[in-house]
Amino acid sequence: MEYYAIIVIAAALIGLSKGGLGAVLGVLVTPTLTLVMPVADAISLALPLLILGDVFALWFYWKQWDMHYIRLMLPASVIGIIVGTFLLARLDNLTLRHILGSLTLIFVIYRLLSNRLERLDYHPRDWHGYIGGVASGLGSALANNGGPAFTAYMLLQDLTPEVFVGTTTLFFAVVNLIKLPGLILAGLMDFSQLLGVIWVLPLIPLGVLIGRVVITRLNKEVFEWFMLGVLVIASLVLLFVPPS
C-alpha cells in the first residue's frame, strides 16, 4: 500500500511542478520515490513520468524560449549526462543516496540565494554556459536534479519570465529525452516496473492542469518556504538514515 501511495504522490508532484508550481516540487520527486526503492530505480522510474510531464509543459510554453541558450548549453549537458549515467550504473545505493541528498541540499541553498544572483553585476561569457550545461546534465543524470546549475546561470541573463520558463522547459525536455537511451543501454530501465505504474499516468496531465489553476490563487512564497523545509528533511534522511 505504501508503494502505491508513493507512486501517486510522485506523479502528482511531477504534474504540479510542470503546471507552474515550481521546481521545488520537481526536485522532491526522486527523494520521495527512494522511500520505497533504490536511488537508481527511482531515477529510472521517474524519467518516463517526467518526459510525459514535459510534453504538457511544452504545450503551455510553446516557442516561448530563447534558442541561443539551448544551443549554448545543450551540447555541454551531454558530457554531464554521459558521466552521470556512468556513475549511476556503477555506484552503490548508499553512495547514490548521499549524492542525491547533497544535490537536494545544494538546490535549497541555491533557491535561498537566487534573488542575490539576479542583483549581481554580471558580464556573460559563453564558457559560463558550458559549465552550467555540464553541471545541469550531471545533476539531471545522477538525481533528476539539474535545475540548480541551469537556473543559477539563467538568472544572470536578461530574460523575461515567460522566456525564462520556456527556455528551462525546452532544455530539460530535451535533456530528459537524451538521458533515456543511456539508461536503457546501462540496463537501468526496468520496463516491467514502468508497466506496473502505467495506471498513474493520467495523474500527470491532471496535475499540470491543477497547477495552472492553483498558481493564480496560492501564496507561492509561503508554499515554497514550506516545500524547502520538506526538501531539507528529505535530504537529511538521504544523508544520515540508512535504507531499510
The tens digit of pLDDT for each residue in 67-102 reads 999 999 999 999 999 998 998 888 888 888 888 888
Measured over the CA atoms of residue 98, residue 103, residue 104 and residue 109, the dihedral's sign is positive
Residue 198 has pLDDT above 80, yes or no: yes
What confidence score (pLDDT) does residue 22 get?
A: 67
Cα within 13 Å of Cα(106), Cβ side: 18
What is the pLDDT of the chain when averaged over all its residues?
A: 83
Higher pLDDT, residue 243 or 13: 13
Report the alpha-carbon distance of residue 6 to residue 113 in Å, rounded. Answer: 30
Q: Which amino acid is at 142?
A: L
Report the alpha-carbon distance of residue 49 to residue 197 in Å, rounded. Answer: 10
What confidence score (pLDDT) does residue 179 get?
A: 93
What confidence score (pLDDT) does residue 139 get?
A: 85
Report the alpha-carbon distance of residue 60 to residue 46 in Å, rounded. Answer: 21
Q: Is the pTM of this model over 0.85?
A: no
**C-alpha R_g of the chain:** 17
What confidence score (pLDDT) does residue 244 get?
A: 55
Higher pLDDT, residue 227 or 48: 48
**C-alpha closest to that of 33 among 19, 46, 21:** 46
